[in-house]
A and B are shown apart, each in its own frame.
Chain A
Amino acid sequence: MNAQLREFTARVDELIPRLRRYARALTGGRDAADDLVQDTLERAWTKLHLWRSGSDLRAWLFTIMHNVHVNQLRSRAGAAMLPLDDDVPDAPVRATQSDLLEVRDVQTAVNRLPVEQREVLLLVALEHMSYQETATTLGIPIGTVMSRLARARERLRSILDASAGVNLKIVK
């Protein structure tokens, strides 16, 4: 193995735990997450020649993961479901009582976010990416990152507040 390949391998290996963390939060399940990581790594190795030495490997791998994930969702849901238009206002969060009972934890609530909002929130909150890095990784304008982030946070808070209200009633 030559020096550059050795370095690439080592740096990819270093990033696998972070890819797993992000994938776990994005998909909400361990097996689904590791499948996503595996698909991402396979894609990365076949696209190795497109990676420019010295460029940001983390952003490159997370971009591949984003693309793989979006393609998986598309093929599962049918193209008509995606993407959600940013200009369409979020539907007010009025979950039914049984829905709310399930939302005890913030990680469960995150899975209720539209995938575009979830991605931005997780890259910022878990990966500590800057707005610019997030924009580059997802291939969207920085303004879109900011509006999705604001919506994600507010929506998450509404879901949890509503859920807490229900739990409170139950406790009474």
Chain B
Amino acid sequence: MSTKPIEQDLHAWLDGELDAARRAEIERYLASHPDETARLDAYARNEQALRAYYDPVVDEPVPPRLTRVRAPGRSRVWRFAAVLAWVAIGGVAGWHLHGVTSTGPRASMPGWAHRAAVAHVVYSPEVRHPVEVPADQEAHLTTWLSKRLGTPLRVPRLEGVGYQLVGGRLLPGEQGPAAHFMYQDAQGQRLTLYIRVNRGETRETAFRFAQEGNVRVFYWIDRGLGYALSGEIGKDDLLRVATAVHQHLNP
């Protein structure tokens, strides 16, 4: 081979990226071009020197600040990551663990999460009266529901994941009033977020998943409030929104 191969093939030869036939061609070319061989040798030598200098870094002890990144000192990130990882495998495994099956009544699904799913089914198809207070009166909506639940509420902004607030309503719950917010995406797909005060149950939980018919629900407890996000969208999409809700509430 006498014609000069393209420059990139010489590098690909050096990096072992060529197939056998092309490699042989390059080697024939190099055999008759010592200057080119010397140039490639220089590249290889430089990289050997680099490795000789930097490879020992791999054997240095890792500074503790780097292995602590996930540690309890950063509890919120940690807890959040744990929540999400739980969901990632919990999808199938956790589901069975908690006795939630795809048919029949959900023995393990708490009553309030079940109420949230029912409220979703009742209100989300509503065309004329989906909410009591529409989103254009959001300040009033927040004040009113906070007052009725006896705790300051925040209405999560979900524009980042494609959902606009439609509005909200007050619902009767097992232990008192519950707040119910409705969101809608550009295609009119609706999600509802049910919030209630969890009296006597203040521990925080991971995301839990359950399904009632076509309605999927992620529910969790955070700072004394129970949250249930319901929708008839895929589990991954619903999880994305649940994640956004959680992030909004724990900025």
> How distant is the Cα of A110 from the Cα of B47 in the complex, in angstroms?
10
A105-B49 in contact (CB<8A):
yes
Count residues on chain A whose CB falls below 8 Å from chain B CBs.
45
Which B residue sits closest to A124, measured CB to CB? B15
Instruction: Tell me the residues in window 66-106 of chain B with beta carbons closer than 8 Å to chain A beta carbons.
Output: 66-67, 69-70, 74, 77-78, 80-82, 84-90
Q: Let me know if A73 is at the binding interface, CB within 8 A.
A: no
Shortest C-beta distance, A19 to chain B (Å), equals 9
Interface residues of B (CB under 8 A from A): 7-8, 11-12, 15, 17, 39, 42-43, 46-47, 49-51, 53-55, 57-60, 62-63, 65-67, 69-70, 74, 77-78, 80-82, 84-90, 239, 243
A sample of 24 inter-chain contacts (CB < 8 A) reads A2-B86, A2-B89, A2-B90, A3-B89, A9-B70, A13-B62, A20-B57, A20-B60, A20-B62, A34-B66, A42-B69, A46-B77, A48-B84, A49-B239, A105-B53, A107-B49, A126-B51, A130-B17, A131-B15, A146-B8, A150-B8, A157-B39, A157-B42, A157-B46
- A5-B86, A20-B57, A106-B46 given. 10 additional CB < 8 A pairs? A4-B88, A13-B67, A16-B67, A17-B58, A34-B66, A38-B66, A45-B78, A105-B49, A147-B8, A157-B42
Interface residues of A (CB under 8 A from B): 1-5, 8-9, 13, 16-18, 20-21, 24-25, 34, 37-38, 41-42, 45-46, 48-49, 53, 105-107, 109-110, 121-122, 124-126, 130-131, 146-147, 149-150, 153, 156-157, 160
